[in-house]
C-alpha cells in the first residue's frame, strides 16, 4: 500500500477539489467533461463515462474522493499506469489549478502558483499587515486562499508604488 506525505495528500485533495466544481464531494460526468475540455483531452461523452467507470467502485456513476485516491494509490504503488485513462487525467489535472474570478475561470500550473508564492514570501515577508497570511506554502495551492480577501494583492500594489516613487 502506497503512503503519501501531507504535501502529497494536499496536492491530490486540491486536484480533486478542482475537479469537483460544485463542491458536493463527487466528480460527476459534467464536471469530468469540463476538466477534459480544459485540459484539451475531451473526445466524447462515451470517453467521460468510460473514465468514470474505470474508478467507480460502488457503481453510482460518480467519482468519490476515496475512489479518486484509490487510483492515485494504485499508480503510486505501480499497480496502474498514469499514462492513460483516469490516472492520466489526474496527472494532468494535478498540474493545473482552477481559479474562478469575476470574468471567468483561469488555469494556472502548480509551478506558476509556487513561483508567485515564493515571490510574495520573499518580497512581503516583513510587512506587519500580512503577518496573518505569511508565509505562503509554495508546495500547495495556498496562494488562492491567501489572495482571496485582496489584502495581499493590495499590499503588493502599495509596495510596488512605494518602490517606484
Does residue 98 carry a pLDDT above 60? no
Nearest to 61 by CA among 15, 85, 86, 27: 27
Does residue 140 carry a pLDDT above 70? no
What CATH number labels 6-94? 1.10.238.10
Highest mean pLDDT, choosing among 51-55, 73-77, 129-133, 150-154: 51-55
As a whole number, mean pLDDT of residues 69-79 equals 88
Q: Which residue has the higher pLDDT, 165 or 115?
A: 115
* Helical H segments across the chain, by residue range: 6-19, 29-38, 45-55, 65-77, 85-94, 110-124, 142-147, 151-164
Domain limits of the chain?
6-94, 109-164
- For the chain, give the number of residues: 165
pTM (2 d.p.)? 0.60
Q: Which residues contact 36 (CB under 8 A, 6 or more apart)?
A: 42, 43, 47, 48, 51, 89
Amino acid at each position: 500500500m502506497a503512503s503519501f506525505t501531507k504535501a502529497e495528500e494536499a496536492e491530490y485533495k486540491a486536484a480533486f477539489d478542482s475537479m469537483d466544481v460544485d463542491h458536493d464531494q463527487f466528480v460527476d460526468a459534467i464536471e469530468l467533461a469540463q476538466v477534459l475540455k480544459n485540459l484539451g483531452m475531451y473526445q466524447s461523452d462515451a470517453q467521460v463515462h468510460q473514465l468514470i467507470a474505470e474508478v467507480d467502485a460502488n457503481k453510482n456513476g460518480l467519482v468519490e474522493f476515496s475512489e479518486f485516491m484509490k487510483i492515485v494509490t494504485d499508480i503510486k504503488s505501480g499497480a496502474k499506469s498514469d499514462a492513460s485513462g483516469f490516472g492520466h487525467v489526474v496527472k494532468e489535472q494535478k498540474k493545473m489549478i482552477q481559479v474562478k474570478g469575476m470574468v471567468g475561470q483561469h488555469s494556472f500550473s502548480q509551478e506558476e502558483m509556487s513561483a508567485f508564492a515564493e515571490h510574495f514570501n520573499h518580497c512581503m515577508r516583513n510587512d506587519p499587515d500580512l503577518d496573518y497570511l505569511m508565509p505562503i506554502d509554495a508546495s500547495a495551492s495556498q496562494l488562492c486562499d491567501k489572495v482571496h480577501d485582496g489584502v495581499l494583492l493590495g499590499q503588493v500594489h502599495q509596495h510596488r508604488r512605494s518602490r517606484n516613487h
